[in-house]
Chains A and B, each alone.
Chain A
Amino acid sequence: MPENLLEVNNLKTYFFTRGGVVKAVDDVSFTMRSGEALGVVGESGCGKSVTALSIIRLIASPPGKIVGGEILFNGENILEKNNEEMTELRGSKISMIFQDPMTSLNPVFTIGYQIAETVKRHRKGISNDQAWQRAIEMLDLVRIPDARRRAKSYPHEFSGGMRQRVMIAIALACNPQLLIADEPTTALDVTIQAQILELMKGLAKEFGTALMLITHDLGVVAGTCEDVIVMYAGHIVESAPVRQIFQTPAHPYTIGLLQSIPRLDEKRGTRLTPIPGQPPDLSREIIGCPYASRCPRVQPRCRQERPELKPVGRGEQLAACFYPS
């Protein structure tokens, strides 16, 4: 058994558009242990979703293409698998849930049927009855009241939060080793978000599933994850255990993000410190550090070479910055 469940090495996923080559994910490396809860944060366009879609090999091609690197899952390179092997892997070993629970379910089939189908696809020889029982079991597990009856309902009879529960049930039905959740609560209200996060955290622990939580909300990460990766313009700029990210952030971008969000526990009259400007255009060649144009601590060197992700002297904390704090 390899030490890491997932090992991503120098992943490069580019999009070949008419406007140029968009380097959505450019030289990204990280690892995940089994059972770990990893948060991937960043703003839209930073490459966090593309990283996830690369791992599960669902990059729309064209225009997208994984042009380099390797993704080792249980020691096997996912990028070398053929389509059949990938289909087998998806849903059974790696599952994914998306932001929009409205379009992720097929409106013409019952909830129970859709869960049972997933189970049957990945477990050869299971009977219809057993699959249906498993579906009800899963609905129970994601705390849908009266699961036996509700399994016969159609998606439109469910609210947004309930549908996201169903998605979680489908995703976990085959005991996957890795669950990728791409902004799973962004479309939901805060009270529902709290329910869903609690549920995901609990179930991942119970099943021993590793959780990769992709979000733009630092608060969500703080309460759910053990480790955090911060992405910016297709690169990982910082990676550390959750406490260190929030207490001793090293990369100026991480610091900037933390300072630009209002906190519930702040004093009245404090002013936000926004990050000036906006992310760079990824279809253009970026020389040097991608954050240089917005960085308050920028030095001439930052505009010439790109800093590597390396330890900043606090245990497991890594940052891609020449002048980390």
Chain B
Amino acid sequence: MVQQQMATSTATGTTLVEVKGLKVHFPIKGGLFNRTIAHVKAVDGVDLTIRRGETLGLVGESGCGKSTTGRAILQLIKPTGGSVKLNGVELTKLPPSELRKKRAEMQMIFQDPFGSLDPRFTVGQIIAEPLENFKRGNAREIREQVAHLLEVVGLNPYYVNRFPHEFSGGQRQRIGIARALALRPSFIVADEPVSALDVSIQAQVVNLLQDLQAEFGLTYLFVAHNLSVVKHISDRVAVMYLGRIVELAESEKLYELPLHPYTQALLSAIPVPDPEVEARRKRIILEGDVPSPVNPPSGCNFHPRCWKAQQICREVTPPLEEKERNHYVACHFPG
């Protein structure tokens, strides 16, 4: 069945993941009786569709809710509200046992190459864990699959009995990728997969992710704060600010003609490794810090830092609308 999906996946560009009104609110407990006194609105109404075979980039600064969004889509964090559909199946209402079965189709690549591998497991045991859970063959078959997976991610199967601490950061990240691939998923959330790695190693992993996508017809949600990397790998990019998506467009388009003031500021803040360009370009330096998601500003939650803000921005939350073809933006005064 998985094989069939792959065959059809790349060409069509039909919807694989559909997210509607996703909300994740974390309670803050406190006071005398440990009551909930407030909520951190980490994700506050996110709509996304991810097409089969594409890479959707999700960028934003720390605390904007991008990682939480990725985890809520995979149901690693229970969403407070909204709907997530994978292949048309509603995930938020699945009972735990059904959800576990569904995990074979959706996997995750983690940020931390040190913390995401159990230090007491060998590489072989780490990659075999999902295969054992889903009974993909007997012990010998699983061993063969593990060896093959190691080869696929560019590691020597000889090292199958080694422990994670014997590998470098880049190699560990490859192990994590092999584990994510083990069940032949159709959808992978990559949460900052290269941000913990050195630049020369980052490129190796980025290329590997692209190669694997082509080979296995994968669909990625690529979550990262590094816009250069996101732009490089993504077909479309969504920009998040304080729990909401403020702009979504094809990556070329977004970088050439950002419509939301926040996107513009974000793009201008990224240093370009070219002194000529750096000398020429105008920087938009945003004032102040990102407000707390416990008590987000009214209306458009970017208004306190926005140089275009008007009265309406303080009062009315702008909806995410298609301003140009395939270019969505949530702003009263885009452009």
B61 adjacent to A191 (CB under 8 Å):
yes
Determine the distance from Cα of A265 to Cα of B61 in the docked complex, in whole angstroms.
21
Chain A neighbourhood of B206, CB < 8 A: 262, 272, 274
- Contact A194 B278, CB 8 Å, known A43-B199, A161-B289: no
- Give the shortest distance, in Å, between B171 (CB) and chain A (any CB): 8
One digit per residue, 1 when the CB lies within 8 angstroms of any chain B CB and 0 when it does not, for chain A 141-162 equals 0000000000000000001011
Chain A neighbourhood of B275, CB < 8 A: 222-223, 242-243, 246
Number of interface residues of B (CB under 8 A): 44
- Contact A222 B255, CB 8 Å, known A198-B285, A264-B228: no
One digit per residue, 1 when the CB lies within 8 angstroms of any chain B CB and 0 when it does not, for chain A 115-130 equals 0000000000000000
Chain B neighbourhood of A69, CB < 8 A: none
A273 adjacent to B283 (CB under 8 Å):
no
Counting CB contacts under 8 A, is A256 at the interface?
yes
Chain A neighbourhood of B269, CB < 8 A: 190-191, 193-194
Which one, B207, B225, B228, contacts A261 given CB within 8 A? B228
Chain A neighbourhood of B232, CB < 8 A: 262, 266, 270, 272
A268 adjacent to B228 (CB under 8 Å):
no
Counting CB contacts under 8 A, is A102 at the interface?
no
One digit per residue, 1 when the CB lies within 8 angstroms of any chain A CB and 0 when it does not, for chain B 134-152 equals 0000000000000000000
Complex: chain A residue closest to B233, CB-CB: A262
B225 adjacent to A275 (CB under 8 Å):
no
> Which chain A residues (227-282) contact chain B, with CB distance < 8 Å?
242-243, 246-247, 256-266, 268, 270-276, 278
Determine the distance from Cα of A146 to Cα of B236 in the docked complex, in whole angstroms.
41
A262 adjacent to B271 (CB under 8 Å):
no
Determine the distance from Cα of A263 to Cα of B283 in the docked complex, in whole angstroms.
17
Which one, B252, B267, B274, contacts A246 given CB within 8 A? B274
B266 adjacent to A264 (CB under 8 Å):
no
Determine the distance from Cα of A262 to Cα of B202 in the docked complex, in whole angstroms.
10
A223 adjacent to B228 (CB under 8 Å):
no
Chain B neighbourhood of A162, CB < 8 A: 289
> Which chain A residues (20-76) contact chain B, with CB distance < 8 Å?
43-44
Complex: chain A residue closest to B210, CB-CB: A271
Counting CB contacts under 8 A, is A195 at the interface?
yes
Complex: chain B residue closest to A46, CB-CB: B198
B289 adjacent to A261 (CB under 8 Å):
no
B289 adjacent to A220 (CB under 8 Å):
no
Residue among A195, A220, A266, A273 with the highest chain B CB neighbour number at 10 A: A195
B168 adjacent to A261 (CB under 8 Å):
no
Residue among B198, B200, B207 with the highest chain A CB neighbour number at 10 A: B200
A residues sitting closer than 8 Å to B (CB atoms) are 43-44, 159, 161-162, 189-195, 197-198, 216-223, 242-243, 246-247, 256-266, 268, 270-276, 278
Q: List 30 A-B contacts (CB under 8 A).
A: A189-B225, A189-B290, A191-B61, A191-B265, A191-B269, A191-B286, A192-B289, A193-B269, A195-B286, A216-B199, A219-B270, A220-B271, A223-B271, A223-B275, A247-B276, A257-B199, A257-B200, A258-B273, A260-B200, A261-B228, A262-B228, A263-B272, A263-B273, A264-B272, A271-B210, A272-B207, A272-B232, A275-B200, A276-B204, A278-B170
Beyond known contacts A189-B61, A261-B273: 16 more, CB 8 A cutoff = A189-B225, A193-B269, A216-B198, A216-B199, A217-B271, A218-B199, A218-B273, A260-B199, A262-B233, A264-B228, A264-B272, A271-B207, A272-B207, A274-B202, A275-B203, A278-B170
